[in-house]
């Protein structure tokens, strides 16, 4: 995977949906503009890089940031669970951002959110930020596992992997793409999914996360997110 050049947006691109259906490892999945992947046969919603408590960690370091990011991210999760009727939520690493962000307000918000979704199984595949932040408290009702975790035919991972068997669903990268329009000032950086033969990399779910520009390797496809719209870029 390499740093992206700027693809040109077609002058008359068709209106794209807010969910995009495709097949991975022989299973139908749905990519959602809210930066999530849903596996209908497994009743499982996958998200990556939520980074709960990131703004609080910055505030603890003396950087003034607005509040409300946690509630906004939890509301997006609620909407996705309602829309998909998923029975299980899998976080592909970096659920928590840092130990400094584990403040009382975050704990209270998540405990309340979890109580409202008690019937949904919740699994965290540990990521590099989770190693530093520590596992969520028991009251959060999160089953924590190490990567790669088998959910056949998928492997739930954090860092990108290309396994010899199975199909990896990964996070960590916060992938994005830079798009250039027809005019010099028409330019955008958008989060995206990266779909390959043996792995998919999900965009970062958290609202307070950056982007790492990527370009598809041979056999990979980029599905970009523009607001509530999804569209696939031409294959490399």
Closest by alpha carbon to 162, among 186, 195, 190, 119?
Answer: 195
In a domain, 74, yes or no: yes
Q: Is 13 within a domain?
A: no
Specify the number of domains making up the chain. 1
The pLDDT value given to residue 179: 83
Predicted local confidence at residue 80, as pLDDT? 97
Chain Cα centroid distance, residue 183: 31
Residue 129 in any domain: the answer is: yes
Predicted TM-score (pTM) of the model is 0.86
Task: Let me know if residue 192 belongs to a domain.
Answer: yes
Residue 224 lies in a domain: yes
Nearest to 46 by CA among 199, 215, 184: 199
Helix (H, G, I), strand (E, B) or coil at 151: strand
Tokens 């998540």 belong to: 110
Domain that holds residue 58: 19-232
Residue 111 inside a domain? The answer is: yes
Let me know the angle formed at the C-alpha of 25 by 22 and 31, rounded to the nearest 5 degrees: 30
If you search the block for the tokens 């599905």, which residue do you land on? 223
What average pLDDT values come out for the chain (236 residues) when binned by 10 residues? 38 57 96 97 96 57 51 92 97 75 76 95 91 84 95 96 92 90 71 95 86 87 92 81
What pLDDT was estimated at residue 134?
A: 82
Is residue 57 domain-resident?
yes
Q: What's the confidence (pLDDT) of residue 236?
A: 62
Q: How far apart are CA 148 and CA 168, in angstroms?
A: 8
What CATH code is carried by the domain that includes residue 54? Answer: 3.60.21
Angle at 144 between CA 66 and CA 135, to 5 degrees: 50
């Amino acid at each position: 995977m390499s740093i992206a050049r700027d693809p040109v947006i077609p002058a008359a691109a068709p209106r794209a949906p807010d969910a995009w259906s495709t097949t991975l490892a022989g299973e139908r999945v749905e990519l959602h503009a809210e930066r999530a992947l849903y596996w209908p046969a497994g009743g499982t919603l996958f998200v990556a890089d939520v980074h709960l408590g990131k703004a609080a960690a910055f505030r603890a370091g003396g950087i003034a940031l607005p509040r409300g990011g946690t509630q906004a991210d939890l509301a997006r999760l609620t909407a996705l669970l309602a829309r998909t009727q998923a029975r299980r939520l899998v976080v592909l690493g970096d659920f928590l951002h840092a130990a400094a962000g584990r403040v009382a307000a975050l704990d209270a918000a998540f405990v309340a959110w979890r109580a409202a979704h008690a019937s949904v199984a919740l699994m965290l595949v540990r990521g590099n930020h989770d190693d530093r932040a520590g596992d969520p408290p028991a009251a959060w009702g999160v089953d924590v596992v190490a990567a790669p975790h088998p959910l056949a035919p998928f492997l739930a991972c954090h860092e990108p992997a290309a396994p010899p068997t199975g199909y990896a669903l990964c996070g960590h990268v916060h992938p994005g793409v830079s798009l250039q329009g027809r005019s010099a000032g028409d330019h955008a950086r958008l989060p995206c999914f990266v779909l390959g033969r043996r792995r998919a990399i999900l965009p970062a779910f958290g609202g307070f996360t950056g982007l790492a520009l990527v370009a598809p390797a041979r056999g990979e496809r980029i599905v970009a997110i523009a607001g509530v719209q999804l569209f696939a870029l031409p294959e490399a």
